[in-house]
Every structure is written in C-alpha cells, then in structure tokens.
Amino acid sequence: MKKLIVTIMLQVLLALAAVHGSTFLPRATTTATTTTHHSTFLTTTTHHSVVIATIVGLPRGGGEGRKSKSSSPTASTVTASVSKTAKETYTKITSKKQTPGSKVMLSSLMLLLGGYLCLYSMNMIPNLYPTQNSFLFGENVFSRKGADVLCNEGKSILYAYPCTVSEALSSQSGITNIIVGSLGTLTAILFMASKLGDPSSFPIEASQIGSLFNFFRLVCPLFCVYLVPKIPTLGGNTHNPGAFIQVNWHSHAAIASWLLCPSCELISSVLSLVSFFRQNPRGDKMIPSDAAVEENSKTWVGTFYKSLWIGSTIARAVLSVAMLSFVIIKFLPFFFHTPSLWRSPAANDCEVLTTIKACAMEWSTCALIGGLYVLLAISQLVESSGRKLSSLLYLLPIIVFSSKSIGKTISNLLMTFNIKENYLKIINMAGGNLTDKMLQEMKAFTGWDEYNTDWNKCSITLKDIDNCNV
C-alpha cells in the first residue's frame, strides 16, 4: 500500500513538473532507497498511464485546456494538392503523342471552311447585286439601263439584272466583287494551304500516281474561285485582241471548274469506296482507331463512324454525277444556244426571264462546287476522328449545318426548271417586293439619284411571260 501511495505521489510530481517546468522534484541519488523507488515508478507507469495523461492534460490556469492540433488539411495543403493534380493532368494531356489523324485534322478543317465560303459567297449574289451602282444607276459595260430609269419608265427593274456571275463581278469597285471576289480569293488560299485536306498522306499514303492526281484535284477549283473574279469579263467591249484574250481566259476558267471539279471528285469517291469495301475488316484502314485495342462495348461507335463516312462519300459521288449531268445536258446548251444572252440588254420580259435563269443556274453551280469540298472535308474529318465518341460533338453539328446549306442551294437550282413560277423566289423578291435590306440600301441614295426615285413604287413583277419558252 505504501509503495502505491509513493508511486502516485511521484507521478503527480512528474506531471506538475511537466506542466510548470519546475525543478522541485528531488534529484536522483545513489542510495538504494531512491533506486528502489525509481524502479517502482518505472514498473507502475504502464498501469497508471491514464492517470498521467489526465493530469498532464490539465491547463495551467484551468478552463478548457490546450487545443490539440486539427487533423483537417490546411488551406495551403489543399492548394498544393490541387496545383499538383492540375499539373499532372496538363502534363498527361500535352505529353500524349499526336496521332496521324490529329495531324491532318487542321487541313480538313481548312478545307471545310474554304468549301463553305465558296458555297456562302455565291449564294450572296442575289442579295448584293441589286444594291450596287451597276444595277441601280446603269453604270455597267453591258448597256443595261439602271433600275432608277426603268422605275420612272414604268418597267420592271429586273431589266437591269445580270445574265451571268461574271457580269455581276465585272465591276471591280462594286460591292458584289468586293465581297464575293474577296471571299473567293480567301477560298483559294484555304484550298491551297490545306492541300484539299492532304489526302495523299492520310489515311492511306498515296502512290506517285495518286499524289499527281490529288495535285490536279487541287488546281481545278482554283480556276473558278480565284481567276474568275480576278479576270473580269468585259461585256461587249471586246474590239481589240487584248480584250478578246481576257474574255477567253475568263470563260475557259469557269467552264474548266464546272467540268473538272465534279469529274475528279467522282473518281476520288468511287476509288475510296472500292478501297473501303476491299478491306478486311471493312474500313479499318480508312477510319483508323486511336485505341490499340477497341473495347467491345464501343464497337457501335466504330460502326457509326463507318456509316457516316460511307454516307458522305456516296453523297459526294451522287452530287458529282448530278452536277456533270446538269452542266453538260442543261446549262451549257442553254447558255450557248440562247441568242438573247449574247445581245444585251434584254428587249422584253421573256428575255429578262432568260437572263435571270442563266444567272441563277450559274451561281448555284459555282456554289455546289463549294458543296463538293464540304462533303469531302466531312469524310476526312470522320477519317481523322480516331473513332472517339467525343469527336461526334463537333462532327454531327457540322454535318447538319452543311446538309442544310447544300440542300438549300440544290433547291434553288431545281427552281430554275420552272422559272416562270419561281423567278421572284430565286432572286429573293418573293411577292414582287424588294426586301427590307434592299430598300434600306436604295433609300440611302435618295438625293443622289437624279430622278429622285421612290423605290417603293417601282415595278418588279414581269407581266408578259405566259407565252415565254424558257
């Protein structure tokens, strides 16, 4: 019992010394008694550790006692952890090697943009041309009266309409050439920079013959989108050898693109489809996967990509055949065998109707050349997708938007087959009225026009077209 009391007292003294830092505890001596007591203390410490812990935890001045360190992470620790995670993620992303598909994806996007600019700019012509001086005031080399004169004479202002895209672009200072011609130049630059999506290097490396063919494919659209705006037609002012040469260059550049572009894309699409179906498994080399081993649960993604590729390639082939058929069977015979188109200006309503039809057929054909390369770019984007599900986030919107734009152009072209019923829709003057944008532009010239024309009262509808054979 005495030993227990002594041990407890020693523990209390030790605790007080730890708390207060005092030195009143008796120092160890060499006596046997002290050694015994000390040994006893060491022996009983284990049994009474709870007592020591409780006593040591008492505060100096009472109250709640010392606050233990919190086990939750500090703000600096959390910040360091987040920073480390972000750095590891960034390193993982940037250190991932580019695949062959990702390297050529930029070229396909440039081709897509160039094709769309061609499609878009040509469809702008019916909105732009009626707002420039060539149409409003007859400042043109085709001897057409301006809309202001025609309006005051009681005639339809459509007598001032151009018969070709070349005529619409002939004025280098006109708004049509400034916008459409500039977009054509940009389109040509994008086509050349993209190398038509670089088909010679991906997905299957082309042979020497294939590379030469792809170079020829690249040159074909440049005639239309670059040379036609840069070498304008001169109308009837071809009374010298130089002017005659210029007109020939202009005409041949346009016709070459109408025939060669769809021909090359038809050949390309057919060869691609043959190569696709010859492969085993079908299309794996045409649409390579980024994954070393494709998961079974994602095989439907690969099948869906193959379906998109087949659809876009077949659409390109069908559009190529349709364009060639239209140009050879319909457009060129109509253009070259219609005398009124070669003796401007139009003398009656039937000739005006013929003029509108020729111009609409031409700008729609040029726009569809852009549509061919939009479809080509879509098939190339499918090829470079790596069959990743995430690639559909940009592919599907592109497909929907492009289909709508191409479909609208095809619809406008088909309306030329019944030009009597549709001529006002084609030129965006449905109901025989000028659009608000056209009126706004025309009214801006009020006071500049020597006739002070009231554009709201101008006649647009052609009245004597029932017996026209157009």
Residue type, 215: F
pTM summary value:
0.76
Instruction: Confirm if 244 and 270 have CB atoms less than 8 A apart.
Output: no
**Residue 202, number of CB atoms within 10 A of its CB:** 21
15, 18, 20, 40, 426 from 25: Cα distances, Å: 10, 11, 12, 16, 110
Report the candidate in 321, 303, 413, 420 with the shortest Cα–Cα distance to residue 359. Answer: 413
Model pLDDT, residue 285: 85
**Token duo for residue 70:** 């919190």
Q: How confident is the model at residue 124 (pLDDT cuts 50, 70, 90)?
A: very high
- C-alpha–C-alpha distance, residues 64 and 45, integer Å: 26
pLDDT in tens, 16-47: 444 444 444 333 333 334 444 444 433 444 44
Q: How confident is the model at residue 97 (pLDDT cuts 50, 70, 90)?
A: low
Model pLDDT, residue 30: 38
- C-alpha–C-alpha distance, residues 156 and 352, integer Å: 9
Give the burial class of 235: count Cβ atoms within 10 A of its Cβ; 0-12 exposed, 13-18 middle, 19 or more buried. middle
Model pLDDT, residue 44: 40
Report the candidate in 144, 110, 113 with the shortest Cα–Cα distance to residue 130. Answer: 144
Model pLDDT, residue 245: 77
Q: How confident is the model at residue 7 (pLDDT cuts 50, 70, 90)?
A: low
pLDDT in tens, 69-87: 444 556 667 666 767 777 7
Range of lowest pLDDT (187-201, 294-308, 419-433): 294-308
Instruction: Confirm if 300 and 398 have CB atoms less than 8 A apart.
Output: no
pLDDT in tens, 356-367: 999 999 999 999
Model pLDDT, residue 404: 95
Model pLDDT, residue 232: 75
